[in-house]
């Protein structure tokens, strides 16, 4: 019984202190791309030393394509990992408060994530009135 309680607390209750919120991911990505390009250059050199001209020439586009992929990832995903200054966030909140369409957005947001299974069903009786699933005894 104690095992189940400790397991639940470790998995669901306590927040791990080593969680960085993804701040380490850009470093891992850059290291991986660097290692991949280095491996391509070493492979091109090894094929050149072994007089495999076709294999060496077919390897030349790979580092270029890898660097293009790296540039795409930097433009697409790196802004997600950057933190914004509080001043910009406060400015955005003030803009949202003065926007008249935000009230409609908040109204839709309150019902946007309702589970369809939990929404009550409305049943119509033959006389046009709503009736419960079980008739009330009076």
Tell me how far apart the alpha carbons of residues 70 and 37 are, in angstroms, rounded to a whole number. Answer: 10
Q: Give the model's pLDDT for residue 34.
A: 97
For the chain, list residues with pLDDT below 50.
Answer: none
Q: Give the model's pLDDT for residue 88.
A: 72
The DSSP output letter for 130 is B
Q: Give the model's pLDDT for residue 37.
A: 97
Tell me how far apart the alpha carbons of residues 73 and 111 are, in angstroms, rounded to a whole number. Answer: 35
Burial class (CB in 10 A: 0-12, 13-18, 19+), 88: exposed
CB atoms within 10 A of CB 40: 19
> 124 in helix, strand or coil?
strand
Q: Give the model's pLDDT for residue 91.
A: 82
């Amino acid at each position: 019984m104690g095992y189940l309680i400790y397991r639940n607390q470790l998995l669901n209750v306590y927040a791990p202190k080593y969680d960085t919120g993804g701040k380490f991911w850009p470093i891992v990505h850059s290291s991986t791309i660097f290692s991949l390009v280095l491996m391509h250059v070493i492979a091109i050199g090894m094929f050149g030393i072994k007089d495999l001209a076709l294999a060496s020439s077919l390897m030349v586009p790979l580092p270029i394509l890898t660097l293009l992929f790296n540039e795409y990832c930097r433009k697409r995903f790196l802004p997600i990992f950057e933190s914004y200054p509080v001043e910009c966030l406060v400015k955005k909140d003030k803009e949202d408060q003065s926007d008249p369409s935000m009230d409609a957005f908040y109204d839709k947001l309150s019902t946007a994530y309702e589970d369809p299974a939990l929404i009550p069903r409305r049943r119509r009786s033959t006389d046009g009135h709503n009736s419960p699933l079980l008739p009330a005894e009076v």
